[in-house]
């Protein structure tokens, strides 16, 4: 019997285990997780901070699932070494677990900048971090969040939603500078300002003190809760100590295989074709490829990279961005609309007649249609403005269940189409929870929940069924 060992029981590792068991009930399967308790959806932790979702709602596989599927789960145990000569992993307690196939899903860790007093702050990465933030928030008078990327914005919005005055500090000149252009960053900042988050960009932090955060120029932003959301880095030490090739992440090929043919790596710790992905959809695509290969289900399975759609998960803020958003009129055809007063910004970047970049801030009903065009790389209609404002030109809105084609991908994280949701509904799933259980739609970033709900409601209306 093939012995498969997975190191890491986060979103990538847990997904891999379930994908393997969906293909093969008989291979030996052991998964180690350094964190205590069952795996959870890290993407939804901002909802826990905001108080819109209890911690138990973001849990993934529960202990009963492992027992029912003959998976040996070892939570709260760190693997500290890989003995490639004998093909075994070694835990901190000295346990040796032999393997025929090893998959590293060690994920990433929060970046803590070398700022004096950084130990006074709380990082925002794990469930334990969430609990620490919530404990501190109960008695805090003011909070500062350091970092204006996705996590920092979500943390700041969550704390503000709890009624805590929040200042967001960011080194760059505008928020989410990797995904957004300057105008979109400005509109996003104004939107957050209206929701109770004070935005300070272009600032340099000198020290975190007992009174708050001291900036260059000796200004102190008062706070008794400081949250660090300064990015993540792949956890590669286990692979590096074992002599595997490591660059920014653990280097893998199109099979997600390292330079040791018996060892794979997936998720945020893996580097594929020079790129490390920090989002859930690529990790789950990689898990499916590895599951196909190690079970022999599809020996031709390969990972070719992912086209990413970034969705901000902050209450009352709708944002989607994908592709080459920073190109200008010098490099491509650009179609944009900005209305700061309503928090609306829309931008299309078109090159050689194909959609290569999108920013949608504010109302994002067109994101499904634009994502399809972005994914497929097909030719665009001549009416460019109609892509941003389909209601004005008689075009279709992707989230309209009536006009959405069955081939339209509704859930980006799990690659679920409208047709699959329809088939699921016809098999008896009459609400979002049932559809999620059958297809996994909505269980990734959660950004497709409204679209899935709209499709289910529409189907029920057509048949006169109560959802």
Of 147-161, 301-315, 321-335, which range is least confident? 301-315
Provide the pLDDT for residue 7.
Answer: 98
- Average pLDDT (182-190) is 97
Conformation bin of residue 355: beta by default, left when phi > 0, alpha when psi is -120 to 50:
beta
Provide the pLDDT for residue 363.
Answer: 77
Band of pLDDT at residue 397, cut at 50, 70 and 90: very low
Summarised one tens digit per residue, pLDDT across range 249-270 is 999 999 999 999 999 999 999 9
What are the residues whose beta carbons fall under 8 Å from the beta carbon of 207, sequence distance 6 or more?
115, 116, 117, 213, 214
Provide the pLDDT for residue 71.
Answer: 97
DSSP H/E element including 350: strand 344-351
Provide the pLDDT for residue 424.
Answer: 82
Is residue 136 within 8 Å of 151, Cβ to Cβ?
Answer: no
Provide the pLDDT for residue 437.
Answer: 78
**Residue 330 DSSP code:** T
Higher pLDDT, 385 or 297: 297
Provide the pLDDT for residue 463.
Answer: 67
- Average pLDDT (361-369) is 81
Provide the pLDDT for residue 316.
Answer: 84
pLDDT of 13 higher than 60: yes
Q: What is the share, in percent, of the chain residues with pLDDT greater than 90?
A: 69
Provide the pLDDT for residue 398.
Answer: 42
Higher pLDDT, 251 or 42: 251
- Average pLDDT (333-352) is 94
Is residue 77 within 8 Å of 33, Cβ to Cβ?
Answer: yes
Please provide the size of the chain in residues.
467
Residue among 455, 458, 467 at smallest CA distance from 421 = 455
pLDDT of 441 higher than 60: yes
């Amino acid at each position: 019997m093939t012995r498969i060992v997975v190191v890491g029981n986060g979103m990538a590792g847990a997904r891999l285990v379930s994908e393997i068991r969906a293909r093969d009930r008989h291979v030996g399967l052991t998964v180690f997780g350094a964190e205590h308790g069952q795996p959870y959806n890290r993407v939804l932790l901002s909802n826990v901070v905001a108080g819109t979702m209890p911690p138990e709602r973001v849990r993934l596989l529960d202990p009963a699932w492992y027992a029912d599927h003959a998976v040996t789960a070892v939570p709260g145990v760190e693997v500290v070494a890989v003995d490639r000569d004998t093909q075994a992993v070694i835990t901190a307690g000295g346990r040796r677990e032999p393997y025929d196939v090893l998959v590293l899903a060690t994920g990433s860790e929060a970046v803590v900048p070398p700022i004096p007093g950084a130990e006074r702050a709380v990082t925002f990465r794990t469930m334990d971090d969430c609990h620490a933030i919530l404990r501190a928030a109960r008695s805090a008078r003011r909070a500062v969040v350091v970092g204006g990327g996705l996590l920092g914005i979500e943390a700041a919005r969550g704390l503000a939603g709890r009624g805590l005055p929040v200042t967001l500090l960011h080194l760059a000149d505008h928020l989410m500078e990797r995904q957004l252009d300057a105008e979109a960053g400005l509109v996003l900042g104004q939107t957050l300002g209206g929701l109770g988050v004070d935005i300070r960009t272009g600032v340099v932090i000198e020290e975190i003190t007992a009174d708050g955060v001291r900036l260059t120029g000796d200004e102190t932003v008062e706070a008794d809760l400081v949250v660090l959301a300064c990015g993540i880095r792949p956890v590669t030490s286990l692979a590096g100590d074992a002599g595997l090739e490591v660059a920014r992440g653990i280097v893998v090929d199109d099979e997600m295989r390292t330079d040791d043919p018996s060892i794979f790596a997936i998720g945020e710790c893996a580097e594929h074709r020079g790129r490390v992905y920090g989002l859930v959809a690529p990790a789950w695509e990689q898990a499916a490829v590895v599951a196909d290969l190690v079970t022999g289900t599809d020996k031709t399975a390969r990972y070719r990279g992912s086209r990413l759609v970034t969705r901000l998960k902050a209450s009352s803020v709708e944002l989607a961005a994908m592709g080459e958003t920073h190109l200008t009129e010098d490099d491509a055809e650009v179609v944009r609309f900005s209305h700061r007063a309503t928090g609306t910004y829309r931008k299309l970047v078109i090159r050689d007649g194909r959609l290569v970049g999108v920013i949608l801030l504010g109302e994002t009903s067109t994101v499904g249609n634009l994502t399809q065009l972005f994914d497929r790389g097909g030719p665009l209609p001549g009416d460019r403005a109609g892509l941003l404002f389909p209601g004005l030109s008689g075009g279709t809105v992707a989230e309209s269940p009536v006009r959405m084609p069955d081939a339209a991908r509704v859930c980006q994280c799990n690659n679920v189409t409208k047709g699959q949701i329809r088939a699921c509904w016809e098999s008896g799933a009459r609400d979002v929870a049932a559809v999620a259980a059958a297809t996994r739609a909505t269980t990734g970033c959660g950004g497709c929940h409204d679209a899935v709900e709209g499709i289910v409601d529409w189907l029920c209306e057509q048949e006169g069924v109560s959802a």
